[in-house]
Amino acid sequence: MKTLVVGAGRTGIAVANRLRSFGEDVTITDARSAHELGADIQKLNGGAETVFGGHEKVMNAEFGLVITSPGVPWDSPLLAFFRQNGLPVISEIEFAFRH
């Protein structure tokens, strides 16, 4: 099952890259467009699906885990949607602790 990384800043990209190094199927999303994200997304290793400029597409996909950046409010509609649908939502810090 895919893992969704919410937030494509430096730490979100690092999490996505780490997951890919484990062979995980990863999608990374950010409300900002690729243009707004700038050079940071160039550090994203190949293989991760990207959804930038909004979250509508990821709300209709299936994921087994959602990992969120500290910059994304815990009570954001996106994270609330996933929690209400029974998906585990953890922070990048918890992910780092686990690995």
Beta strands in the chain (DSSP E): 3-6, 26-30, 49-52, 65-68, 89-91
Instruction: Report pTM.
Output: 0.94
- The confidence score (pLDDT) of residue 1 equals 81
The C-alpha atoms of residue 39 and residue 24 are separated, in whole angstroms, by 24
Check pLDDT > 90 for residue 74: yes
Band of the pLDDT at 82, cuts 50, 70, 90?
A: very high
- The confidence score (pLDDT) of residue 99 equals 84
Average pLDDT over residues 93-97: 93
Check pLDDT > 90 for residue 40: no
